Structure 1
């Protein structure tokens, strides 16, 4: 969500909770300063749906919210773009320059830029690049609020990068209390399923690397990294680990335990919205909110996590799972798991990491040319990793400090040491670490690229 629309989103959220959504919507449309079509397009984007404006717009919007369906077009561009953001001497506009996949084209006939959805991976970098707010990403909260009002089971699955985002001294217990106050049934740390993926990645390393010239590229975490591999570096896909991300793992595990639950991932990344809609994994995560969107929701509902008592839970995520939030964290976690599960292979484990689009492309080019002096490659599309995500609330340097403090103070140090994880794994049919070598038993963590 572009910061330009914070006040409008605040108004929509408050009205949906108060029950005067129709009246509020009508007032907004009557008082619009731009065309009704464009105003309605902004509103529908803030409500997480896609609709054309007509005379029955209130009924159609309420129906679309209640009958929420996956949007194929996560990022949309308004027609009223003035194209006044190109500097002298530059061939491209700001939105074009921001796109790592060259998915924003210029139509000479219509004298307008447009999004080529065949090339767009939904990273959302263009949303922040447009200072006029002419590029929109869908905000899924109103459909979530509709489920909450209807007493559905809605679980918030928070990214490991959440620590410190909502206040220096705000604990996970206070965040849990805040989310339950919003109306969520409960909150879980995605770091917990990151621990499960860590073990899966250690098994994949054992399968992929048998000598100094073998290579494994981790598929964990970052949809921009995976998008680069799938679209630009296809020759390297055979070396890509066939594992889901911790986010998708959270959705699958929760739904295995409670098929009626709806799962909302909350993180610093617009690209996660696109990942949740990938055809082969669609439905595992029902909705995605960013930290900035959650901050707007807290403010609209006058919820201050720092003032809440907190709802405690015992520690169940490990140091390694929590370190997934920052560059190098995946390598640390998987390296420790390899050392524990395959001590002989641990001698071979040599990791290299890349952060930011430029570094990721550089390292993949080296891998293509056989110039890489490592056998485990970790890539993060944002500098700093997830703590540097475009929808973070604090600088990446601060985010890393908070994540490291939480991680290194975790009672559970290595993924394989969690008794809670043992209990959950048994409920989904995995009764031992050896079972992770059985593809049928670990199908829940598997993805084909």
Structure 2
């Protein structure tokens, strides 16, 4: 988030929590020498909606927030751009960085625009635009509106969150911090990654029988999945028919309590787009980024490092937590295969790619039959989720802190989590044999 947007977002959050939202927005809009059209476009984006300025702007904004729905684009240009960042090739920063060639030049005006047919809402252009002219919508205010209605809301946090808010900040302190915001509780998405680990192990056993067979994991990264579907679509038949851990979290939590709302928090803009895909609508209600969460904490004067811990039993495994960095999925699934299908384990040959260029290179080699591997893992960000664009600390530091958490996890392999076994029983999966036989696993299925 650009600095000027961050400060504006803080003011909006503070106003909403102090019940003077309308007065504060009017005060911002009535300042002299401002471009009201441009400012209101930015404010509406920071409130999770897309509105144009008119005389009824405040009523329109309040109505749009209360009637918020997921069906919208995530990334949009809020300020017209003259392309002054073009390099010698004639490409702007956002054009050079877009993995899907979705940033175009209008031949009539010479200005850039985002082609909605090509755009995958991955958010790479948001980071590439140094001037803050491209924004991703922030969904916190519609969520805060929901909190006022006393609806149970769960924070589902990505594994990469560990260490983002301080080296000594524990997951139990973060749970307290989320409750201070108004969440009912916090769960690690690593717990639901554990469930996907068992499913991916079964999918490997089901799909890989001969030397040339291979499985492309669909876990975790929407950028990876989008690249396969958009650019390497002949590879789709090899993609595991599994949802991501984020989607699994939403589906399981809503199965256990249909009244609950689920907010995913991670380092990734592309997760906002994943939650809005037609076959996944309703599984996750809102998505926030680590960067947005940091701004929310600051606006509400919440410092996780100074909070007491809200304790819970240990329930997520080392393997599930490893999903937050490159090779984590491969490691977790390989260890699960060793336990579930010991004769098959020796056949596992995993390969990983991280970062868009490396992912494209891996998939191109896979097309040409130049990869000697049968479990293919890709993550769009360098280092995996710990290198996500909306992280707070460096990729290297995030990776090291996550590795430390994983190394100290009481539960090592997903299959050993008694809490997971209990939750699976509550949703109709009574044993590991059910998983092996793919019984009652529809909740974790997705057809590509």
User: Normalising by structure 1, what TM-score?
Assistant: 0.98
1:34-433 aligned within 5 A: 34-87=34-87, 89-433=88-432
Distance 1:91 1:240 in 2: 37
Give, in angstroms, the shift of residue 54 of structure 1: 1.7
Distance 1:250 1:446 in 2: 13
CA contact (8 A) 2:172 2:309 kept: yes
Q: Higher mean Cα deviation, 115-124 or 24-33? A: 24-33
1:110–1:194 distance in 2 versus 1, CA, 3 Å? same
Give, in angstroms, the shift of residue 143 of structure 1: 0.7
In the alignment, is residue 29 of structure 1 matched against residue 5 of structure 2?
A: no
SS across alignment from 1:280: helix
Give, in angstroms, the shift of residue 56 of structure 1: 1.2
In the alignment, is residue 4 of structure 1 matched against residue 4 of structure 2?
A: yes
CA contact (8 A) 1:331 1:378 kept: yes
Distance 1:258 1:331 in 2: 31
SS across alignment from 1:354: strand
SS across alignment from 1:379: strand
Distance 1:13 1:353 in 2: 40
Distance 1:287 1:388 in 2: 22
SS across alignment from 1:176: helix
1:267–1:151 distance in 2 versus 1, CA, 3 Å? same
Distance 2:338 2:78 in 1: 52
CA contact (8 A) 1:65 1:142 kept: yes
SS across alignment from 2:54: coil
RMSD, aligned CA: 1.0
Give, in angstroms, the shift of residue 81 of structure 1: 1.8
CA contact (8 A) 2:2 2:131 kept: no
Deviations 1:9-63, CA, capped at 9 Å, x for gaps: 0000000000000000101111164421211110010000112222111111111
Give, in angstroms, the shift of residue 121 of structure 1: 1.1
CA contact (8 A) 1:320 1:332 kept: yes
Deviations 1:424-449, CA, capped at 9 Å, x for gaps: 00110000111114445000000000
CA contact (8 A) 1:50 1:71 kept: no
Q: Higher mean Cα deviation, 30-39 or 150-159? A: 30-39
SS across alignment from 1:266: strand
SS across alignment from 1:105: strand
Deviations 1:294-339, CA, capped at 9 Å, x for gaps: 0000000000000001101111000000000000000000000111
Distance 2:3 2:155 in 1: 23
Give, in angstroms, the shift of residue 94 of structure 1: 0.8
1:159–1:224 distance in 2 versus 1, CA, 3 Å? same
1:2–1:211 distance in 2 versus 1, CA, 3 Å? same
CA contact (8 A) 2:201 2:334 kept: yes
SS across alignment from 1:289: strand
Q: Higher mean Cα deviation, 257-266 or 35-44? A: 35-44
Distance 2:148 2:261 in 1: 13
Count of aligned residue pairs for this structure pair: 448
CA contact (8 A) 2:201 2:333 kept: yes
SS across alignment from 2:397: helix
Q: Higher mean Cα deviation, 218-227 or 34-43? A: 34-43
Deviations 1:271-312, CA, capped at 9 Å, x for gaps: 100011011111100000000000000000000000001101
CA contact (8 A) 2:80 2:111 kept: no
Distance 2:214 2:406 in 1: 28
CA contact (8 A) 2:429 2:439 kept: no
Distance 1:435 1:28 in 2: 58
Distance 2:2 2:98 in 1: 16
Q: Higher mean Cα deviation, 127-136 or 369-378? A: 127-136
CA contact (8 A) 1:2 1:127 kept: no
1:332–1:33 distance in 2 versus 1, CA, 3 Å? farther
Deviations 1:51-99, CA, capped at 9 Å, x for gaps: 2222111111111111111142111112432321113x22211110111
What stretches of structure 1 of length at least 5 have no aligned partner? none
Question: In structure 2, what is the equivalent of residue 14 of structure 1?
Answer: 14
What stretches of structure 2 of length at least 5 have no aligned partner? none
User: Normalising by structure 2, what TM-score?
Assistant: 0.98
Distance 1:237 1:32 in 2: 54
SS across alignment from 1:51: coil
